[in-house]
Amino acid sequence: MSTTLFRTIQPNHFTLLTTALLRTRTKTSRHISVRCQTSTTTQQPRTSAPKNHGSNKLDEILKDYEAVIGIETHVQLSTSTKAFCSCPNSYGSHPNTSICPVCMGLPGALPVLSSKVVDFGVRLGLALNCSLSLKSKFDRKQYFYPDLPKGYQISQFDVPIASGGYVDVDIPLEFGGGHRRFGITRVHMEEDAGKLLHSDAGDYSQAMIVSKLDLVDLNRAGVPLLEIVSEPDMRSGVEAAEYGSEMQRIVRYLGVSNGNMQEGSLRCDVNISIRPIGQAEFGTKVEIKNLNAFSAMSRAIDYEITRQALLYNQGQADKIVTETRLWDEGAQKTVTMRKKEGLADYRYFPEPDLPEVILTQEYVDSIRASLPELPEAKRRRYEAMGLGIQDVLFLANDVSVAEYFDEVIGKGADVKSAANWLMSDIAAYLKNEELSISDVKLTPHELAELIAAIKDETISGKIGKQITDPVEIEKMIMKVISESPKQLEQYRSGKTKLQGFFAGQVMKMSKGKANPALLNKILLEKLNAKE
């Protein structure tokens, strides 16, 4: 499509996309960059403040404040087409190859909603325990930016497809454990914008354009998104990160998105303010962007809590301003991206090109019936089976691991043994080999049989496993060698056939579970070592 398109459009359009298009940026954003510098310098002492203060003192200060955190999550849907045209929705294509008159915003082109987007919206809405709007609509959110071809984003404003839900999460033990429920304000459907590519700046952020040459790639324009807005229910970086992880698990369980943060399929923007404990009103809200891992999210939030608490503590609360900050992974701190000058007026109004989205109860019911078991239900089920919380969290974390586990125990395997196998041996193997559970040749059925055989003592439980740790094997080898000085002498004087004797002894010591190849390799090294 794209080639025909460019061929038929007047020639200078082609150059528009390939040559300098936007020379640097606006005056206002230049000001921002200046301010950005000054604010970073003035922030310098604050940044290092946590180190200057003893950590006890910092803890003292933090004790007096409570953070209020809300998260906006954008989930890129894994539909085969874009939301409003039939362009393929594929990540990583060559720039401007997945575009058509509709997603390019050509004159006269009209959007047509893909029913799959509604499908996915309903699935996610139900999974997040929301109530659905049987009649919702699309609206236009209007602003000018070169990555926004129509000058407006098709979104949902006052009537989202789903609202008023919640999500349950378990905080991992290492972070204190416990169960939390976070409110979901709404889920709405919208389209993604394109991307600006800058010649020299990294793909950093929209407003931090510092390049001379700017190009627009519209492959992502019109890709369907679901935006999930949480209630401001989180209180720490850990809680926020766990909320984010749960969103990732849920969209993966549902199959509505690959939830990949690096590719930007799952993007979390965090809104955070702090207030003295006991105060009812919220403090000034700061937004943090550019969080491409949950660990980064947790650290960014904790950094931001500290920064704001110190400002409060120093009587400089007025220096906490409504702004968007970026997480700088290298410096491990947040920096000002842009200050918000008043409220942006997006001039929302109902999208006249699209009819209302009407859902029938039968349709909703059929989707509800087709929902898979969700992470929370799995966790509670595993827990009820008698598994410890650590096992539960591990198994339910990855939908394919959970499915594998369910199949194994479905074959009647002992629950605890199956969990052990998956969490220790198989997990270690997958990690070493950088594989996923779907790559494992051992079928759930075979694993179940193995577990059963071990239980019946047909084979020893240890036979089932192999020792692949070279250090452990080496220890056994050294022990055997030191216990057989005579044989060693004979070997070293030329009777190399004795290698078999040593190997046999080590194998015996390991009860047959040492990896033979590894054993022989290390054994040879030791036997041939010059004293």
Partner 1 sequence: MLSTLQPPRSLTLLPFRRFHGSKTIASLASSSPTLDASFVSPPQSQILTTRRSLLSGETTASEIAKSYLSRIRLTEPQLKCFLHVSENVLKEAQEIDQRISRGEEVGPLAGVVIGVKDNICTEGMPSTAASRILEHYRPPFDATAVKKIKEMGGIVVGKTNMDEFGMGSTTEASAFQVTANPWDLTRVPGGSSGGSAAAVAARQCMVSLGSDTGGSVRQPASFCGVVGLKPTYGRVSRFGLMAYASSLDVIGCFGSTVADAGVLLHAVSGYDRFDSTSSKQDVPEFDTQFLSMDSFESKPLKGVRVGLIRETLEEGVDSGVRSATQEAASHLEALGCVVTEVSLPSFSLGLPAYYVIASSESSSNLSRYDGVRYGNQVMADELNKLYECSRGQGFGGEVKMRILMGTYALSAGYYDAYYKRAQQVRTLIRKDFKAALDHNDILISPAAPSAAYKIGEKKDDPLAMYAGDIMTVNVNLAGLPAIVLPCGLVEGGPSGLPVGLQMIGAAFDEEKLLKVGHIFEQTLKGSGFVPPTLPNVA
> Of these, 128, 132, 216, 409, which contacts partner 1 (CB under 8 A)?
216
Instruction: Report in angstroms the alpha-carbon separations of 135 from 132, 161, 265.
Output: 9, 8, 27
> Of these, 33, 39, 40, 142, which contacts partner 1 (CB under 8 A)?
142
- For the chain, give the longest Cα–Cα distance: 93
Calculated CA dihedral for residues 346, 352, 354, 358, nearest 10 degrees: 90
> Of these, 33, 40, 106, 292, which contacts partner 1 (CB under 8 A)?
106
Residues in the chain, overall count: 531
379 close to 245: Cβ distance less than 8 angstroms? no
The Cα angle at residue 85 between residues 80 and 86, in degrees rounded to 5: 45
CB of 213 to partner 1, least distance (A): 12
Angle separating helix axes 444-455 and 399-410, nearest 10 degrees:
50
> Of these, 34, 263, 349, 429, which contacts partner 1 (CB under 8 A)?
349
Angular region, 497: left φ>0, alpha ψ -120 to 50, beta rest: alpha
State yes or no: residue 278 binds partner 1 (CB under 8 A): no
103 close to 221: Cβ distance less than 8 angstroms? yes
State yes or no: residue 222 binds partner 1 (CB under 8 A): no
> Of these, 278, 352, 485, 494, which contacts partner 1 (CB under 8 A)?
352
CB of 26 to partner 1, least distance (A): 5
Strands (E), 290-351: 323-328, 333-339, 349-350
> Of these, 16, 134, 358, 428, which contacts partner 1 (CB under 8 A)?
16
Segment near partner 1 (CB under 8 A); pick from 11-19, 222-230, 388-396, 457-465 = 11-19
> Of these, 203, 318, 345, 456, which contacts partner 1 (CB under 8 A)?
345
> Of these, 120, 152, 405, 421, which contacts partner 1 (CB under 8 A)?
152
CB of 271 to partner 1, least distance (A): 20
State yes or no: residue 107 binds partner 1 (CB under 8 A): yes
Strand partners of residue 323: 286, 339
Query: Is the Cβ of residue 339 or residue 411 nearer to partner 1 in the bound state?
Result: 339
Query: Is the Cβ of residue 45 or residue 355 nearer to partner 1 in the bound state?
Result: 355
Q: What is the DSSP string of 439-506?
A: G-SS-HHHHHHHHHHHHTTSS-TTTTS-B--HHHHHHHHHHHHHH-HHHHHHHHTT-GGGHHHHHHHH
CB of 199 to partner 1, least distance (A): 15
> Of these, 137, 150, 195, 267, which contacts partner 1 (CB under 8 A)?
150
Query: Is the Cβ of residue 153 or residue 265 nearer to partner 1 in the bound state?
Result: 153
Per rule CB under 8 A, count of chain residues that contact partner 1: 46
188 close to 152: Cβ distance less than 8 angstroms? no
> Of these, 54, 64, 90, 112, which contacts partner 1 (CB under 8 A)?
112
Q: Which DSSP state fits 130?
A: P
State yes or no: residue 55 binds partner 1 (CB under 8 A): no
Segment near partner 1 (CB under 8 A); pick from 148-156, 260-268, 321-329, 400-408 = 148-156
State yes or no: residue 25 binds partner 1 (CB under 8 A): yes
CB of 61 to partner 1, least distance (A): 39
State yes or no: residue 27 binds partner 1 (CB under 8 A): yes
State yes or no: residue 140 binds partner 1 (CB under 8 A): yes
State yes or no: residue 17 binds partner 1 (CB under 8 A): yes
> Of these, 104, 122, 169, 228, which contacts partner 1 (CB under 8 A)?
104
State yes or no: residue 200 binds partner 1 (CB under 8 A): no
The rounded distance, in Å, linking the Cα atoms of 28 and 234 is: 34
CB of 331 to partner 1, least distance (A): 28
State yes or no: residue 159 binds partner 1 (CB under 8 A): no
The rounded distance, in Å, linking the Cα atoms of 8 and 100 is: 12
Calculated CA dihedral for residues 422, 424, 426, 429, nearest 10 degrees: 160
Q: Which residues contact 169 (CB under 8 A, 6 or more apart)?
A: 179, 180, 181, 182, 239, 242, 243, 245, 246, 376
Query: Is the Cβ of residue 24 or residue 466 nearer to partner 1 in the bound state?
Result: 24
State yes or no: residue 115 binds partner 1 (CB under 8 A): no
Query: Is the Cβ of residue 4 or residue 44 nearer to partner 1 in the bound state?
Result: 4
- Candidates 72, 141, 142; CA nearest to 285 is 72
419 close to 390: Cβ distance less than 8 angstroms? no
235 close to 69: Cβ distance less than 8 angstroms? yes
> Of these, 54, 88, 255, 355, which contacts partner 1 (CB under 8 A)?
355
Locus of tokens 């953070």: 67
Distance of CA 236 to the CA centre of its chain: 18
Site track for partner 1 across 377-396, x = CB under 8 A:
--------------------
Write out the residues near partner 1 by the rule CB under 8 A.
Answer: 4-5, 8-10, 13, 16-17, 21-28, 101, 104-113, 140, 142, 144, 146, 149-152, 216, 218, 343, 345, 347-349, 352-355
